[in-house]
Structure 1
Amino acid sequence: MKKIVALLSAIVLCSCGEKTKKEQPKVDSNLQSEAVQSIEEVAIFKGQQVTGVTVSDKGRIFANFPRWRKGVPFSVVEVNGKDGSYTPYPNKEMNMWEIGEEVTPNAFVGVQSVVAFENILYVLDTRSALFEPILDEPRVFVFNLETDALVNIYIIPKGVAKPNSYINDLRVDKKNGKIYFTDSGAGGLLVLDIVSGKSKRVLGDHPSTMAEMDHLTFDNGQWNNTINSDGIALDTKNNKLYYHALTGYSLYAIDTEVLASDKNPIHTEVQFIKKTGAPDGMIFDDKGNLYLADLEHNKINYLTPSGDLKTLLEGDVVKWADTFSIYNGFLYYTNSRINEVKGEISEIEFTINKIAL
């Protein structure tokens, strides 16, 4: 693996010039061990925009690529952590669907997230392509990583999923037997029962799940989009689900006991936590630190259990840190470069990186 040499590339949804001075990565030494640490590239995807990454309990690495444009050759891959090579997962057939074709039940259409939990891989398919209304009911494909067999498909029915839903990310709550989702399109949270497969929508149109802004601002200009509830993280020690709109600066939480119950309405149980930078994905480590990006400032921050917001990493090695995963003392993150992309992406490199904690 190579140490990252940061580069600034393509200009984005707004037209602006390149940076003329490269920033050196800054790393929080408080989270470093005594050994010399480095940021490493795990995989490079030239011309393929990666958003999600997850690492299983046994170190298997998976990544996903949403169909935000035509010509996406695969939705899910398994990455070789030794040399960065990758192959479609679980096979080529499930990854072969293309925009304009008939939607079939077992084909990946618009995969936005992959999450490995206790040797199970959950593949979240929005069933949306090109940011258009859903073509089919969103679903979660469930794979047993011992056999790589597809063992279940959870369907999120119409009504729970709205025409403009974009089911963004998920977390598995083993204690309560639930899976929680954010909907960054319609705004709201979804709760799915693992045993029955039944799901419900909560906090739809609630201020905590709705965007606060219609844009974000970067050094190279303004990124104009309104993205609702997006980042999601489960605090298993305190039994709270944290969530955050992408175009917004407010972090919220709610007790999982409330989400798992039949209590309605639940909006009185929402807890405002803290003002933060605008993030995408979020994750807790086993010490209770919550990692989340500050997209506009090329940072990965973390919120400590005592409520202090600190910076782990900043600089050109962070280019829209979309998703996080933690394995064996390393924080893995994707550089999705969403604010940079406009038009042709064939020469842009999107990466999975990791940094020792």
Structure 2
Amino acid sequence: MAKEGLLWPRGVQPKTKLSIAIATMARWLCLCLLTISICLGCAHKQTLQPDRLKTVQAPPKTVPERLKTVATFKGVQVTGVTSTNTGRLFANFPRWREGVSFSVVEVSPDGSFKPYPDAEWNRWEGYPQPNRFTCVQSVVAHGDSLYVLDPSNPQFAGVVGSAKLFVFDLKTNQLKRRYEFDSGVAPQRSYLNDLRIDDAAGKIYITDSGLGAIVVVDIATGNTRRVLAHHPSTKAEEITLKIDGKEFLRNGKPPRIHTDGIELDRKNGYLYYHALTGYHLYRVPTKALVAAFYDPKQEPALEAKVEDLGKTPAPDGMMFDAEGNLYLGDLEHDAVVYRTPAGEILTLVQDPRIRWADTFTIDPNDSLIFTASRIHQVPQNGGIDDMEFPIYSLQLPHSSAPQ
């Protein structure tokens, strides 16, 4: 029992004391209820879906360090980046305009870079030549190899010669394999965009963002097949992206950029893909892709197994970590998000410097590395000599070595 004089004055009658005690307890109860209400209101505010794509902010414990600049390229637009399992870093530059002085480089830890595998491979004289790059769109390090995808479609004017995939031995830096794609697999208006290597199935999967399709390549034989070329999952949606408060237009119209981002869930046997101008993420079992590769009659069965995983922000590239989180760019909000294994979309980082997060890779130090290709900011006509195109990195908040 509280001592007299602490909760009420000395000499107050018991009934009055009781009334005072009840009133005091009531005030405490109201205060507690008010505090709980405020807390619940804050929690509700934190989990509200801020836009139509239901992207939510990541919990405070996942907030990463500030962005670090790995390298900057002035006057030349970078799109792809990839890290080897030993930490070597490579980047590529498509020939989307005149004056691209190199197609593939190796980036040193100090941010300097040099043409890869050498200057001769990167020399351009206006037309395709043997053992030279034409218009490199993507580089992917896998094991002891560097895969260099060349859609051979400079300035989006149409495929010249044939699209190719070069494979370099990272131990010797010499070409060890070349895949060429005829017009049946890479038609004139195609633009082979990105790839993943499936060692278990012995296949390579490539997106075509120009027309919309998945190209399947047999690693051993080099045989190829174009699949899902008529399925809506590989096609752009009828949307107009809005970036920096402006509609993203080309020649006065919203572009339709088809299957672009691609990622392989090796553990569960799924290929994930996404149109660039689109809000829906899709996946399909790799077994179904392989079955359709060997038997075209399996195409309807393949289409039937495509899964729509729901809405995400409009991204460019994609990357899984070891925990099954799928990293994507959010082009409309200067951000990088990730989709958890449970399907929730969380914001990893949002920063005005992230101008079109293009391609992702994870290095051996558990840093997410990505390019800012500034596609929405480059002029359709005129030079980009004064523009800078960076590669950024940030330490991931959890164990995220690639699958």
Query: Given the two structures, how large is their TM-score scaled by the length of structure 1?
Result: 0.89
Correspondence 1:44 to 2:44: no
Aligned residues: percent identity?
49
C-alpha distance in 2 between matches for 1:264 and 1:293: 31
Correspondence 1:264 to 2:299: yes
Deviation of 1:177 after TM superposition, in Å, equals 0.8
Aligned to 1:56: 84
How far does the alpha carbon of each residue in 1:203-234 deviate from its partner, in whole angstroms, 9 at most, with x for none?
00311000003531112411121100101011
Matches within 5 A, 1:243-254: 243-254=273-284
Aligned to 2:327: 291
Give 5+ residue unaligned stretches, structure 2: 1-56, 250-254, 397-403
Deviation of 1:63 after TM superposition, in Å, equals 0.2
Aligned to 2:370: 333
SS at match of 1:324: strand
SS at match of 1:30: helix
Aligned to 2:216: 191
C-alpha distance in 2 between matches for 1:220 and 1:310: 22
Q: Is the 8 A contact 1:28 1:311 kept in 2?
A: no
Larger Rg: 2
Deviation of 1:235 after TM superposition, in Å, equals 0.8
Aligned to 1:212: 237
Aligned to 2:115: 88
Give 2:61's aligned amino acid: N
Q: Compared with structure 1, are the counterparts of its residues 219 and 32 closer, same or farther at alpha carbon in structure 2 (3 Å cutoff)?
A: closer
Matches within 5 A, 1:139-158: 139-158=164-183
Q: Compared with structure 1, are the counterparts of its residues 91 and 29 closer, same or farther at alpha carbon in structure 2 (3 Å cutoff)?
A: farther
Correspondence 1:97 to 2:124: yes
Which structure shows the higher helix fraction?
2
Give 2:217's aligned amino acid: L
Q: 1:222 aligns with which of 233, 239, 247?
A: 247
Aligned to 1:164: 189
Aligned to 1:3: none
Query: Given the two structures, how large is their TM-score scaled by the length of structure 2?
Result: 0.79
Give 1:155's aligned amino acid: E
C-alpha distance in 2 between matches for 1:212 and 1:206: 12
Aligned length: 326
How far does the alpha carbon of each residue in 1:253-297 deviate from its partner, in whole angstroms, 9 at most, with x for none?
000111112332321110001201110000100110000011011
Give 2:82's aligned amino acid: T
C-alpha distance in 2 between matches for 1:66 and 1:28: 37
Give 2:70's aligned amino acid: V
C-alpha distance in 2 between matches for 1:137 and 1:269: 31
C-alpha distance in 2 between matches for 1:29 and 1:118: 35
Q: 2:98 aligns with which of 54, 63, 70?
A: 70
Aligned to 1:131: 156
Give 5+ residue unaligned stretches, structure 1: 1-25
Deviation of 1:107 after TM superposition, in Å, equals 1.0
Structure with more relative contact order (C-alpha pairs < 8 Å, separation 6 or more): 1
Q: Is the 8 A contact 2:58 2:346 kept in 1?
A: no
Q: Compared with structure 1, are the counterparts of its residues 336 and 27 closer, same or farther at alpha carbon in structure 2 (3 Å cutoff)?
A: farther
RMSD after superposition: 1.4
